[in-house]
Amino acid sequence: MNGQPVKHRNYTPIIVTLTIAINLLVAVLYFMPGHKGFSDIDLTFLPFLNAVMNSFTFIFLVAALVSIKQKNIPRHRRFIFAAFTTTAVFLISYVTYHALAESTHFGGEGFVKGLYFFILLTHIVLSAAIVPLALVTLARGLNMKVEKHRKIARWTMPLWLYVSFTGVVVYLMISPYY
């Protein structure tokens, strides 16, 4: 560099605020009574949009992983930013849908029902965990704390891949019941 110390930004307040706000908002939506007064508006396109955004997130994460394995940091960053963008669009769509539409119940039976709820439960739990993990990983990358970034990214990447992939699987399994 130019001999001056590297100045690191403190992302902790943003990470804590976003983690609490996002997870609290999703939890509140989950426990809201099935109401909603917008029955005349067809919002069933939003779950499809959610699945599309999860698909793009998965693809962008795989591309980011390939890029970093090839030591192409600028391309890796672009794909990570793309994954954050599609995740943000997903989150807006998800919150909109669950704030305005009635809940859809899974209608499968037997083994498929158990499999669905296993995938759904792991998806929900890990999606709550991925919020702070992804934000901390991003902050460490932006601050060029390479070793700390790598250490947490080894956990964040597979979990985020799982969450984005299972989001699509959950949609495919429940979509016949919309």
Q: What residue ranges do the domains of the chain occupy?
A: 44-177
Contacts of 57 (CB under 8 A, 6+ apart): 83, 86, 87, 90, 160, 164
- Of residues 175, 170, 141, the one with CA closest to residue 68: 141
Distance between CA atoms of residues 125 and 104, nearest Å: 19
Least confident of 28-32, 57-61, 77-81, 121-125: 28-32
| Mean pLDDT (whole number) for 103-115 | 93
Residue 42 zone, left/alpha/beta (φ > 0; ψ -120 to 50; rest): beta
- With b for 16 or more beta-carbon neighbours within 10 A and e for fewer, the 130-152 pattern comes to bbbbbbbbbbbbebeeeeebeeb
CATH architecture of 44-177: Up-down Bundle (1.20)
Entry pTM = 0.86
| pLDDT of res. 175 | 93
The share of the chain scoring above pLDDT 90, in percent, equals: 69
| pLDDT of res. 42 | 79
